[in-house]
Structure 1
Amino acid sequence: MKKYVLIGMAVILTACSPEVTSTKIETITDNVTKPEVELVEPLENSLLLEWSHDNMDRGNHDYETLAHPRLVVELDYKDIKRGDVIYLKSPDFTIDSNPDFNMPEHYIARVVGLDGETVEIINGQVFIDGRKLDTFYSIVLNRGKNKDEFFKESTPANRSDDESWKEYFATTMEPVKVEANTVFVLGDNWWRSTDSKDFGVLPMDNVEGKVLGYVKK
């Protein structure tokens, strides 16, 4: 009997111990942004944009106007929210490993981190202020496929370098503080995108508009 009393006391003391913490990860969600690119009517101040890069491709040549209608960009859009796809003036920066690299004068990318937040990437997952960002654009993908889907559905001949792909799906980035009047942006197809992983936070002065969707014919 004494044995069971001692066990019971141990359980109670363990439960009350300040050293015992929950392993549950806090999350931050975006239930507003839709993964589908909508068909929209141009506005008076809209720019109709041709876009041939695959930095936003989630498996359906998303945002690529070689496969879809032109993109409608609302110019002078200021009410920036997480999840918005923005049309931006490319910042000036260099890549040490590729000194000949040049970005196009303008680019599109998705807003992930906002003024005052800290963005971190751990093993292919975006965290905001230490909380896991839970949405379709917050994890590393290759044209819409996660690591398991990619390795299951592709052949070794088409992958060329498995170690490089494993490294890609484990993408990690040190915490980046989003300073005042800046945003942190990512492409949806990380390995084909040049974004805040490369050039850091983007000044709001470089944001020239919001991509609303494809033009409705």
Structure 2
Amino acid sequence: MKYSMLIIVLLLLMTGCSFNASSESLSDDKTTPDVAIIENVGSEIITHHHMYDNMDRGNHDYFDKTLAIELKVNISDISRGDVIFFDNEDGEKDISRVVGLPGEKIKITKGQIYINSKKLEAFYGNAHRVGLDKESYFEKMDNEGNEYDKKGMIELFEKSMKEIKLSDKEFYLIGDDWLRGKMMVLNEDNFVGKVIGYTE
């Protein structure tokens, strides 16, 4: 009887420990949704007029703006949360946000990003549409009486992706607006520079 109770207690402790380990989170306290205004464009900065709304967080962020892009950036200096200027699969210049870094494992479960099994706690860590999370989006659309593809939007906010592991030269990028942006693995060879803000 004593042994049975001991085994039950040990099993409960082990279950508790594994639950706590999987519930760990990963935060990004450095990156904010604010975009800097760059007044002085030096020789190591180029400009690009971005005309796609894949990064819209409700204020047409990055859309129809002239971006300042720092060119001479070491790959080792790229951080999670950085907005990258790169060559996409169509050979065009594009921008998106770094979510996963080389060597990491990335998974999406019901619209939430996980890095190495840790929940990404950041403003860009879960599914958004024009800056709104699932609950806020449906509340806004329903309160305003808007017609929209509710089933399609539920699928967007509940999006899942099996875990993938990045190589030591790969990054995982996602646009801030999950409806308009792409999710992709990008090799460091496709990087052109880092977006540091808008020019005036």
How does the TM-score come out when normalised to structure 1? 0.81
Residues 43 and 74 in structure 1, CA contact (< 8 A), matched pair in contact too: no
Supply the distance in 1 between the matched residues of 2:91 and 2:155 (Cα, whole angstroms). Answer: 27
1:26-46 residue CA offsets vs partner (Å, 9 max, x unmatched)? 001110112101112322121
Supply the distance in 1 between the matched residues of 2:43 and 2:154 (Cα, whole angstroms). Answer: 46
Gaps of 5+ in 1: 1-5, 92-102
The match for 1:143 is 130
Alignment of 1:59-70 (within 5 A): 59-65=58-64, 69-70=65-66
Quote the offset at 1:176 in angstroms: 1.4
How does the TM-score come out when normalised to structure 2? 0.87
Q: Does 1:50 align with 2:52?
A: no
Quote the offset at 1:21 in angstroms: 2.1
Gaps of 5+ in 2: none
Distance 1:142 1:159, change over 3 A: farther
The match for 2:119 is 132
Percent pairwise identity:
34
Q: 1:107 aligns with which of 66, 91, 94?
A: 94
- Cα RMSD (Å) of the superposition? 2.0
The structure carrying a bigger strand percent of its residues is 2
Quote the offset at 1:76 in angstroms: 3.0
Which structure's CA Rg is the greater one?
Answer: 1
Q: 2:10 aligns with which of 8, 13, 16?
A: 16
1:56-79 residue CA offsets vs partner (Å, 9 max, x unmatched)? 0011100112xxx41100113222
1:147-172 residue CA offsets vs partner (Å, 9 max, x unmatched)? 11111111386342211111111010
